[in-house]
Homo-oligomer: A and B are copies of this chain.
Amino acid sequence: MNNTTSEPNIAVVANLIGDNARAKMLTALLGGKALTATELALEADITSQTASTHLAKLVDGQLLHVRKQGRHKYFQLMNASIAQLLESLLNISASLAPEQVSTGPSDIRLKQARICYDHLAGELGVEVYDALKRQDFIIDNGSETLLTDLGKEFFSSIGFDFSQVKKSKRPICKSCLDWSERRNHLAGILGQWMLNDMFDKGWLERALDSRVINVSNAGLNRIKYHYNLS
């Protein structure tokens, strides 16, 4: 019997993620920022040699892409679907792991506000999401999210340009389950735009350790006012 199941082989991708060092690099890259080989080596706690071979595999496996800039090599996640895959892995792992030994200051900041590839996550992320829902700017049937007419008006009024959207294939709204909060935050084009807008306005600031976002009291107040958080 020629048992040719033609299902794609998920083992290769999973195996790429399934190594400790590589997994650390990938989660670090969930910060959305492009990182160099040495930065990633530090993150994964390995020498630059081993990092090099790991990164070559990840690029070869099309999970990452590279940009060469002078003598640096900047690595980034291939696309949003890879980021999403990593996020769902994070979610499942978080729910399985009994409780992670969660101590240390970097920990708290990670829980408060962090970047999820290209949008806002953590406590602040879900609070903004809830505020949008409360004001009927988005509807949410449990796992999925749609922008209402009211929401369209609102986002237009605060500077989002809907004409640019048509070019893109990416959904405007997308809910993304937050692994630390176990509640939704907003992804998609709108999620990306909101985060960038907050950076532009100076309300948020990237921490040096990639994924964490620093929020000043002033910035937090502006966000609360702007999005009418409760």
**Residues of A with Cβ closer than 8 Å to B?**
2-20, 22-24, 26-27, 45, 61-62, 81-82, 84-86, 88-97, 100-104, 106-107, 110-111, 139, 141-147, 169-175, 179, 188, 211
The answer to whether A106 and B144 touch (CB under 8 A), given A15-B19, A17-B18, A82-B92, is: no
Query: Contacts of A188 on B, CB cut-off 8 Å?
Result: 143
Query: Contacts of A141 on B, CB cut-off 8 Å?
Result: 146-147, 171-173
Chain B residue with Cβ nearest A81: B92
B5→A110 contact, CB < 8 A: yes
B20→A17 contact, CB < 8 A: no
What is the minimal beta-carbon distance from A105 to any residue of chain B, in angstroms? 9
The answer for the CA separation of A175 and B144 in the assembled complex, in Å, is: 9
Chain B residue with Cβ nearest A89: B10
What is the minimal beta-carbon distance from A142 to any residue of chain B, in angstroms? 4
The answer to whether A100 and B6 touch (CB under 8 A), given A17-B14, A92-B85, is: yes
Query: Contacts of A10 on B, CB cut-off 8 Å?
Result: 17, 23, 26-27, 86, 89-90, 93
The answer for the CA separation of A4 and B23 in the assembled complex, in Å, is: 15
Query: Contacts of A147 on B, CB cut-off 8 Å?
Result: 141
Query: Contacts of A18 on B, CB cut-off 8 Å?
Result: 11-12, 14-18
Query: Contacts of A3 on B, CB cut-off 8 Å?
Result: 45, 106
